Amino acid sequence: MIHTEETTTEAIHTLEGLISILEDGKLGYTNAAEHVNDLAIKAEFLDHARERALFIVELQDQINKLGKSTDTSGGGPLGALHRTWIDIKSSFTGGDTEAIINACVTGEEAAVEKYKMALEKNEFEGSQIAIISKQLNSIQSTLDKIKAKRLS
């Protein structure tokens, strides 16, 4: 897709929304890691938080390529629609691993939905679609792994 000023603004807005949910996920996984006792699960959650941080950098790079500085980018109002991770933080306070895992599933499902909606908007160039699709696949894989923990 060739970007016009309008489509560039829309693409930036959508990318900022994805960054917002990634920030929520990074924070959510960090909080989850602090509240679980199982060291293996704690390490996994910290890995997921690091991955979200890397995804944020990738999307900020795309915003920069579209001509907007991301020095102060922390997501936009779009992200407020999916503050699932923040809302479920209270689930972590009891240290109940099952509740924490369920909260992580909820957060990841919101992220997957937001990524799918972003791709459906058809406002990205091929390289951006590739990055967003790669991130979506990784988030979906993480979601599947976390869901499997619920069953074990």
Q: What is the pTM of this model?
A: 0.85
Question: pLDDT (tens digit, 9 = 90+) per residue, 95-151?
Answer: 688 888 888 999 999 999 999 999 999 889 999 999 999 999 999 999 999 999 876
Cβ-contact 121, 14 below 8 angstroms:
yes
What local confidence, expressed as pLDDT, does residue 152 receive? 59
What local confidence, expressed as pLDDT, does residue 6 receive? 81
What's the Cα-to-Cα distance from 128 to each of 16, 47, 57, 113, rounded to whole Å? 13, 24, 13, 18
What does DSSP assign to residue 37? Answer: -
What local confidence, expressed as pLDDT, does residue 149 receive? 84
- In this prediction, residue 92 has a pLDDT band, given cuts at 50, 70 and 90, of low
| CA nearest to 49, candidates 108, 119, 136, 134 | 108
- Burial category of 149 from C-beta neighbours within 10 Å (exposed 0-12, middle 13-18, buried 19 and up): middle
Question: pLDDT (tens digit, 9 = 90+) per residue, 26-78?
Answer: 988 998 898 888 899 999 999 999 999 999 999 999 999 998 887 654 444 44
Domains along the sequence of the chain with CATH? 1-68+93-151 (1.20.1260.10)
Helix H segments across the chain?
Answer: 5-35, 39-65, 77-80, 84-87, 97-120, 126-151
